[in-house]
Structure 1
């Protein structure tokens, strides 16, 4: 399934199109705002792959951290638009230009989100603690010198510091605080970010995880990983499947094998 936005800003989902050809023509843009690229498309393709699960999930509050052009939050809002009780959407970005472009993109597609120009979710931690049912994040993941992190403007969209983890490591505990008991986190990682270690850290916080989309481009290997809370009485499949929690070790074995192999391959190159 792929998302195509035409020149008039119309939104369509095509079941018969390979996900890698997802395209977008912006209804609004700014030279200091990150335009959708392979990573954005991969994240939306992950949401489309989970489309039925997302609809059946009946989220009340959805959020994107780092909305950029608004491509991802608008796509999520359109996926869930058919819900009788439409969720309330939030989108944050540290770049004020991104907030304006996101607003234009949402308005062009007749969907709405509460927009905040803020660092990660600053100002929302108490208000939304334990309430977010779906969170999507395309973080700054590119390994860069630490001094480039958080400088604002366009570079804030990709500068991730050492191993690309400077911002990622700040977002994960925030997500843990905001996600509800049934909350899902869809987050994109570069292989250089060591997503296997991230999955292990999230497991220590009580989360299950799985790769929803895995994609190699000419420059990078991308993973969109979904995280959900696990409990003693919860089924691993409650995030959308039907596998009992006792089968979760098989899921971990799979994710370990996939991420370990890809990480080793990149290191050897």
Structure 2
């Protein structure tokens, strides 16, 4: 069979098997996604305007009805006509609103943040690096829930403190690839930096990893989006700093961690880093958290946002009051109860008024 005799079916089959098809699809998606998102945003704004008009018409209609009741002995024909006209306008606004809602549902780009692959990490890695757990996935869920806001803010520099396995920062990098972003991850544990880099590579995203304590090397007020799943378990100070020869949890936490203690509390310096990934020290487990909060004015950009994971034992209301005294708003955007813990995520941002 000559080339000219190849059927349409054969051409279709060749196209399906052609690896460039996926590249073409990705290219088209990256081309249309910003346009659709912009359209979706404008549709939502229009819907809000329409709803506001509807509410104002309801108020005006109510006022006219009150006036009619007060004019019982007078000719109310003019009021009746005005009321009918308002009701007609209200009906039209309602129809427009319904149409816009319907159109919006067709154009909305799904805000689903895919959990990155981390099957490349082994049990040996988890001897040195915090293994993804319920708190990790709750933080991803919180970011996913607030994706519309994150996209609207268009952060230029996104950073995670204590990235561990790297799946949280990689999840954001996977979703926000169409924007001009710089993704960074810092961790005091060099094993964690290595794991984060491998997770980023495994998921085809670019995340710069830095082995450092907190954010000591970053320029002041440069972070647009900050993420932190901190060491939050209330423990003795010596446990979180690994100074004792035989670290032990406090009485309140001892039963929960006794089983793990035989394998986690070892003398190797790198494995002591694993303890630091969850041991929050005294002061409601906020020893490390308070370090970050105390430097927040120097960390966040003017419109920067901070997503902080906590447990109820950290006394979140006390933290929120402290943030308020610094001039920050805080909103609890998600929470989840698991065995032995009540997790939550705060969204923290500067008061602009």
Q: TM-score range by the shorter chain?
A: 0.7 to 0.9
Aligned-residue offset at 1:123: 2.1
Could you tell me which residue of structure 2 aligns to residue 134 of structure 1? Answer: 225
Could you tell me which residue of structure 1 aligns to residue 289 of structure 2? Answer: 168
Asked whether 1:32 is paired with 2:128, we answer yes
Could you tell me which residue of structure 2 aligns to residue 256 of structure 1? Answer: none
Could you tell me which residue of structure 2 aligns to residue 80 of structure 1? Answer: 176
Distance 2:117 2:201 in 1: 16
Mark the CA change 1:175 to 1:106 in structure 2 (over 3 Å): closer, same or farther: farther
Aligned-residue offset at 1:229: 0.5
Question: Over residues 119-167 of structure 1, what are the superposed CA-to-partner deviations in whole Å (9 max), with x where a residue is unaligned?
Answer: 111222xx2x111110000000001111011334210100111121111
Correspondences of 1:1-269 after superposition (within 5 Å): 25-29=118-122, 30=125, 31-83=127-179, 85=180, 87-124=181-218, 127=219, 129-151=220-242, 152-162=272-282, 163-232=284-353
Distance 2:184 2:226 in 1: 9
Aligned-pair Cα RMSD in Å: 1.9
TM-score by length of 2: 0.57
Query: Which runs of 5 or more residues in structure 2 are unaligned?
Result: 1-109, 243-271
Mark the CA change 1:24 to 1:105 in structure 2 (over 3 Å): closer, same or farther: closer
The count of residues paired between Structure 1 and Structure 2 equals: 210
Query: Which runs of 5 or more residues in structure 1 are unaligned?
Result: 1-14, 233-269
Q: Which structure: larger Rg?
A: 2
Could you tell me which residue of structure 2 aligns to residue 237 of structure 1? Answer: none
If each structure's strand is expressed as a fraction of its own residues, which one has the higher value?
Answer: 1
Distance 2:193 2:299 in 1: 21
TM-score by length of 1: 0.74
